[in-house]
């Protein structure tokens, strides 16, 4: 029984959150306690399924799951003439890394939401949408089919937009949700157009099949731009980042943390398109698209952090930092993309740069989620996000302050936390690619530290204020959620090489190995 | 010449619809008109998806009394149906957002719905 | 279980444990130096902030608001900020325009290079 359960893990990964999402309104009729119990159960089972699947992939290689076939790994049906016709989930090491991120974050965030949203109404809708968003993210990173990717992209965008606009009593939240929905829909429609262009030429929707048949003509280049630019917009790359601060500020804090994970999933999609779908060693223009990512990354890093420094709203400041840190990831993987054709440079520093970028993805999801949750904790007790009006909360909220310090030191890249480990990898490899960019990245790091010192001073330091006299520490579920993320931040900082060996290096190898990805489905063609 | 023009007709329509939709999204100041433009863009992409499904000399994949065995995969129709449903959900959600914004801000002019800026 | 403690970056190595040991040693030295100082200025009046003999202002009076904290930086970078901040208008049409602009630019680059 356990074997067959393990065999169907990829399907369970998406089925459990979907099933929970649709059961929650029913459970809500039976009362708040039943709904909370179902929420905890659903989150725990989803995270368990995700971690189990990731363990299987890291131990045994790519996991295939063919929906509707006689056996889960029978990619090519007998009577199809050699075409994988069904929807296939293909989870390689990079996908497994993203599944780990989504599993850990969703568990921590759901625990946090139980206490943070306890005073709101309409919790049925909130938790349904939350599980739909989790299902969308998990589906986006597991699928091996282009149109399936589009569907999960739309699911996570729509659920995310609805969740951003959750507090409809304030107009600003709905404004943020509207901007997110508008941009996401325009982007997703152009992605659909690109998928149509690719299907029209190659009669296939499966990523491995299209990759093996790609001819790199003008239409294919148009499809690549129509795929890559909206996905870059969805991760918040400058100059398409304007929606990020508006949306992250007004969403409930747990949802902001989950939107960060959703942006990382779009980043995964971008890398999948560039490396696996289009990454032919001889016919792909590595330099142009590598420099596209590098320029986007450097711009995002610098513009993000400089826009963050003068902000008055703590979550808007953190949202600009999310843009800035995404710049680091784009920079690291972009350097790897740019030198891909040069085997010597790739082995010397290209792969390390990609490892730094990918390690930064998981580190960022954890410490950025932690920071947003602490900002939400302060908002939960004081009712304000305005840094000019906050102050002196250090004694009243000691746990929140400690978690904030851990997150702030991690994002600034201070040892011994995990931010330092991934930033070191990025600095050392980008320096050998272009010293100017490495120095720019270090300056950005200093400015990051500066802005978080400002936030720490404004929120926690100083004399206690009269209007916050009754503020106490936040409830236990919120502390538990923050503790899960903080534990990862500390652990990944203490033993970074263990994480690189077991998770990041396999992910880099999976990203680089286009032939292996295709052969897993088409069998060595 | 006429045949080529007729064959290209759906794609020309898609191009015209896309231009109209992008024009509405970029240049109209009323939020409802922007959402109309978005809906127009969805229709354009759906038309594009159906139009690329044409395969010369192929027939519909109905096996009963089929005149030939060269049939067309109904994949694009499946894609279009999914896209239509997603479009319906998106339009419904964004129109309800527009309603709430009108109630809270008193206007649907996007130049005035800018509390989040800078 | 063999746990690798050192991160290899290809150009160097980083060991968090050694850093923590060094941090602990430095902390111990600082503690030692402090404990050998005068024992009478560790509590009470000696802990109040020294503002050149002036009185400490009431409650929140001495607390600089967040907006003014980095005035020097924002003032020095005024040329940069005065051009960058107006781009963040808050109008959704502008956001879509930026997305389409970057898409158009990349289409031209991808098709000609």
Contact C100 B115 (CB under 8 A): no
Closest CB from A239, A387, A496 relative to C102: A239
φ/ψ bin of A281: left (φ > 0), alpha (ψ from -120 to 50), beta (otherwise)? alpha
**pLDDT tens sequence across A257-277:** 999 999 999 999 999 999 999
pLDDT above 50: residue A10: yes
φ/ψ bin of A259: left (φ > 0), alpha (ψ from -120 to 50), beta (otherwise)? alpha
Query: What CATH number labels B2-105?
Result: 1.10.287.3510
pLDDT above 60: residue A524: no
pLDDT above 90: residue A46: yes
Q: What percent of chain A has a predicted confidence (pLDDT) above 70?
A: 99
* Mean of pLDDT values over A454-469: 86
Mean pLDDT over each residue of chain B, to the nearest integer:
92
By C-alpha distance, which of A152, A150, A159, A166 is closest to A181?
A: A159
Closest CB from A161, A181, A199 relative to B52: A199
Going A473 to A134 to A296 to A363, the CA torsion angle's sign is positive
| Per-residue model confidence (pLDDT) at position A523 | 77
CB environment B27-65: b (16+ within 10 A), e (fewer):
ebeebeebbbbbbbbbbbbbbbbbbbbeeeeeeeeeeee
Dmax of chain A from CA atoms? 76
By C-alpha distance, which of C17, C9, C10 is closest to A421?
A: C9
Q: How confident is the model at residue A389 (pLDDT cuts 50, 70, 90)?
A: confident
Length of chain C in terms of residues written: 113
**pLDDT tens sequence across C13-46:** 888 899 999 999 999 999 999 888 888 877 777 7
Map residue A126 onto helix, strand or coil. Answer: helix
pLDDT above 70: residue A282: yes
Give me the DSSP letters along C10-44.
Answer: SS-EE-HHHHHHHHHHHHHHHHHHHHTS-TTSSSG
| Per-residue model confidence (pLDDT) at position A469 | 84
* Mean of pLDDT values over A21-30: 93
**pLDDT tens sequence across B79-100:** 999 999 999 999 999 999 999 9
- DSSP 8-state class, residue C59: G
* Mean of pLDDT values over A212-219: 92
Determine if the peptide bond prior to A509 is cis (ω within 30°). Answer: no
Return the domain boundaries, chain A. 285-494
Chain B residue with minimum CA distance to A248 = B116
The residue that leads in pLDDT, B63 or A190, is A190
Q: Which residues on adjacent β-strands are paired with residue A64?
A: A90
Quick one: how far is CA A109 from the chain centroid? 14
* Mean of pLDDT values over A86-103: 94
Q: How confident is the model at residue A525 (pLDDT cuts 50, 70, 90)?
A: very low
**pLDDT tens sequence across A337-350:** 999 988 888 888 99
* Mean of pLDDT values over A88-99: 94
pLDDT above 90: residue A39: yes
By C-alpha distance, which of A418, A505, A498 is closest to A93?
A: A505
Residues 6+ apart with CB under 8 A from A55: none
| Per-residue model confidence (pLDDT) at position A24 | 95
Task: Please give the Cα distance from A174 to B105 (Å, whole number).
Answer: 11
**Chain B stretch 75-94, residues whose beta carbon is closer than 8 A to a beta carbon of chain A:** 75-76, 79, 82-83, 86, 89-90, 93-94
| Per-residue model confidence (pLDDT) at position A18 | 96
pLDDT above 80: residue A82: no
Using the Cβ of C27 and the Cβ atoms of chain A, whether some distance falls under 8 Å is answered with no
**pLDDT tens sequence across B11-57:** 999 999 999 999 999 999 999 999 999 999 999 999 999 999 888 88
* Mean of pLDDT values over A159-165: 95
| Per-residue model confidence (pLDDT) at position C70 | 87
| Per-residue model confidence (pLDDT) at position C60 | 55
Closest CB from A172, A176, A178 relative to B94: A178
Tokens of A385: 């996000």
Q: How confident is the model at residue C11 (pLDDT cuts 50, 70, 90)?
A: confident
Cα-Cα end-to-end distance for chain A: 35
| Per-residue model confidence (pLDDT) at position C62 | 63
Task: Please give the Cα distance from A40 to A196 (Å, whole number).
Answer: 40
Return the domain boundaries, chain B. 2-105
φ/ψ bin of B107: left (φ > 0), alpha (ψ from -120 to 50), beta (otherwise)? beta
Task: Please give the Cα distance from A181 to A166 (Å, whole number).
Answer: 13
| Per-residue model confidence (pLDDT) at position C1 | 66
* Mean of pLDDT values over A218-245: 94
Chain B residue with minimum CA distance to C88 = B118
**Chain A stretch 168-227, residues whose beta carbon is closer than 8 A to a beta carbon of chain C:** 178-179, 182-183, 186-187, 190, 218, 221-222, 224-226
Q: What percent of chain A has a predicted confidence (pLDDT) above 90?
A: 78
**pLDDT tens sequence across C41-94:** 777 777 777 778 777 776 656 677 778 888 888 899 999 999 999 998 889 999
Closest CB from B26, B28, B117 relative to C88: B117
| Per-residue model confidence (pLDDT) at position B66 | 87
Question: What phi and psi, each to the nearest 5 degrees, are found at residue A313?
Answer: -95, 125
Task: Please give the Cα distance from B86 to A473 (Å, whole number).
Answer: 42
Using the Cβ of B71 and the Cβ atoms of chain A, whether some distance falls under 8 Å is answered with no
Using the Cβ of B34 and the Cβ atoms of chain A, whether some distance falls under 8 Å is answered with yes
Q: What are the chain B neighbours of A309 within 8 Å (beta carbons)?
A: none
Task: Assess contact for A258 and A130: CB atoms under 8 A.
Answer: yes
Q: Which region among A17-21, A136-140, A308-312 has the lowest average model confidence (pLDDT)?
A: A308-312
Contact A199 B113 (CB under 8 A): no
Tokens of B1: 């010449």
**pLDDT tens sequence across A396-449:** 899 999 999 999 999 999 988 999 999 999 999 999 999 999 999 999 999 999
The alpha helices in B1-118, defined as continuous H runs, are 2-27, 31-51, 75-105
CB atoms within 10 A of CB A86: 17
């Amino acid at each position: 029984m356990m074997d067959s359960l393990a065999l169907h893990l990829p399907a369970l990964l998406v089925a459990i959150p979907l099933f929970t999402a649709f059961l929650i309104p029913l459970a809500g009729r039976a009362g708040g306690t039943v709904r909370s119990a179902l929420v905890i159960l659903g989150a725990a089972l989803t995270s368990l399924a995700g971690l189990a699947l990731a363990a299987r992939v890291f131990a045994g290689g790519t996991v295939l799951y063919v929906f509707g076939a006689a056996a889960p790994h029978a990619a090519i049906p007998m009577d199809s003439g050699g075409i994988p016709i069904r929807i296939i989930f293909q989870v390689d090491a990079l996908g497994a890394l993203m599944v780990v991120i989504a599993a850990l974050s969703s568990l921590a965030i759901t625990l946090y939401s139980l206490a943070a949203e306890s005073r709101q109404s309409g919790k049925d809708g909130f938790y349904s949408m939350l599980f739909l968003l989790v299902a969308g993210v998990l589906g986006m990173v597991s699928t091996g089919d282009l149109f399936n990717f589009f569907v999960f992209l739309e699911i996570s965008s729509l659920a995310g937009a609805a969740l951003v606009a959750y507090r409809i009593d304030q107009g600003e939240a709905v404004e943020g949700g509207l901007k997110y929905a508008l941009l996401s829909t325009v982007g997703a429609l152009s992605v659909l157009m690109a998928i149509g262009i690719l299907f029209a030429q190659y009669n296939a929707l499966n990523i491995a099949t299209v990759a093996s048949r790609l001819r790199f003509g003008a239409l294919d280049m148009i499809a690549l731009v129509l795929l890559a630019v909206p996905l870059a917009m969805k991760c918040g790359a400058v100059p398409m980042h304007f929606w990020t601060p508006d949306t992250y500020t007004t969403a409930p804090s747990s949802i902001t943390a989950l939107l960060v994970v959703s942006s990382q999933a779009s980043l995964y999609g971008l890398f999948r398109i560039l490396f696996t779908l289009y990454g032919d060693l001889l016919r792909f223009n590595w330099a142009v698209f590598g420099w596209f990512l590098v320029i986007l990354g450097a711009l995002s890093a610098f513009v993000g952090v400089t826009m963050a420094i003068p902000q008055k709203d703590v979550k808007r400041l953190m949202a600009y930092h999310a843009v800035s840190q995404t710049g680091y990831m784009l920079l690291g993987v972009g350097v790897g993309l740019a030198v891909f054709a040069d085997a010597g440079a790739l082995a010397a520093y290209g792969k390390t740069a990609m490892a730094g970028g990918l390690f930064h993805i998981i580190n960022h999801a954890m410490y950025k989620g932690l920071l947003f949750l602490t900002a939400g904790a302060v908002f939960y007790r004081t009712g304000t996000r305005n840094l000019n009006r906050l102050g002196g909360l250090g004694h009243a909220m000691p746990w929140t302050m400690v978690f904030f310090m851990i997150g702030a030191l991690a994002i600034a890249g201070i040892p011994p936390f995990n931010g330092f480990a991934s930033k070191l990898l990025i600095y050392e490899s980008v320096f050998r690619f272009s010293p100017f960019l490495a120095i720019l990245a270090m300056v950005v790091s200093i400015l990051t530290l500066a802005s978080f010192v400002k936030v720490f001073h404004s929120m926690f330091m100083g004399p206690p204020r009269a209007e916050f006299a009754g503020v106490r520490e936040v409830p236990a579920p919120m502390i538990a959620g923050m503790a899960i993320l903080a534990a990862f931040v500390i652990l990944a900082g203490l033993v970074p090489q263990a994480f690189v060996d077991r998770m990041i290096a396999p992910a880099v190898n999976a990203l680089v190995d286009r032939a292996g990805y295709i052969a897993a489905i088409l069998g060595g063609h | 010449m006429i045949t080529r023009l007729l064959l290209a007709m759906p794609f020309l329509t898609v191009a015209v619809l896309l231009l109209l939709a992008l024009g509405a999204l970029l240049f109209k100041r009323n939020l409802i008109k922007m959402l109309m433009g978005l809906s127009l863009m969805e229709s354009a992409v759906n038309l594009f998806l159906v139009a690329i499904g044409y395969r010369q000399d192929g027939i519909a994949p109905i096996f009963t009394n089929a005149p030939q065995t060269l049939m067309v995969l109904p994949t694009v129709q499946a894609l279009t149906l999914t896209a239509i449903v997603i479009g319906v959900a998106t339009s419904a959600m964004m129109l309800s957002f527009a309603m709430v914004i009108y109630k809270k801000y008193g206007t649907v002019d996007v130049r005035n719905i800018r509390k989040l800026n800078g | 279980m063999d746990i690798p403690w050192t991160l290899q970056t290809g150009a160097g190595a980083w060991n968090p444990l050694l850093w923590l040991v060094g941090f602990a040693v430095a902390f111990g030295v600082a503690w030692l130096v402090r404990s050998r100082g005068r024992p009478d200025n560790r509590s009470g009046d000696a802990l109040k902030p020294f503002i050149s003999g002036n009185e400490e202002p009431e409650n929140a009076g001495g607390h600089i608001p967040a907006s003014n904290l980095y005035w020097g930086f924002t003032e020095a970078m005024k040329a940069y900020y005065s051009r960058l901040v107006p781009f963040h208008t808050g109008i959704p049409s502008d956001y879509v325009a930026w997305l389409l602009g970057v898409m158009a630019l990349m289409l031209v680059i991808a098709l000609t290079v």
